[in-house]
Amino acid sequence: VSSESSSRAITLDLKNFVMTPATRKREVRLSELKDYFSDPEAADKILSSGRDPVVYEYYEYVVEESAGHLSLGLTIIYPGKVGKEYFMTRGHFHLKPAAEFYYGIRGRGMLLIQSEDGRVEYVELRPGVIGYVPPGWGHRTINTGRAMFVFFFAYPSDAGHDYGIVKEKGFAKIVIEEKGRPKVVDNPKYTSSTI
């Protein structure tokens, strides 16, 4: 019998929001996300002022992208808006019907989920709240606060990611600020047809 200490222990630094070890670290800037917002002209305005802020970043620890394994990660969404719409992740569907959970660590946000037939639900994520994404549902997270929104996630490693549907059609609902508060409203650009 042999025993070894290894990278089976993953550490979340809850002060600096760093996950170690990580097999991947990615920063997503506004220029890459512009077309996901309902008002790309508002994004152009920010970009043409010479700024290209990091909207979100995430760490991922993937042991193996095969059945039975879990992928773990930490996402940080910065506070900000494009027009009235809050900073958010691109969002995606999994290629396989795989669930996911999000555990709120810092700040305030929303987890928006959408079934393949267009039903939308949302969970308000605060520190200590877990949001559950059922298999087959698309998901996006949104920072509805004025500080960093940080959460931990886990999902089956062989889930795969489909970003295409969201890029093409968006989600049926968007989250905007109205009178200083977050509001979930219909996405004016969303079309449920597949033409």
Of residues 86 and 153, the one with the C-beta less far from ligand PA5: 153
3-state SS, residue 40? helix
Residues 26-65 vs ligand PA5: string with x where CB under 6 A?
Answer: --------------------------------x-------
Give residues 99-158 in contact with Mn ion (rule: CB under 5 A).
100
How would DSSP label each residue in 66-113? STT-EEEEEEEE---EETTEEPB---BEESS---EEEEEEES-EEEEE
What is the token pair recorded at 158? 């062989």
- Can you tell me which of 59, 137, 155, 171 binds ligand PA5, judged by CB under 6 A? 155
Based on the shown chain and the rule CB under 6 A, indicate whether residue 92 belongs to the binding site for ligand PA5: yes
Distance CA 38, CA 189 (A): 7
At CA 126, angle to CA 122 and CA 132, rounded to 5?
45
CB of residue 44 vs ligand PA5: minimum separation in angstroms? Answer: 21
Write out the residues near ligand PA5 by the rule CB under 6 A: 58, 73, 75, 89-92, 100, 139, 141, 153, 155
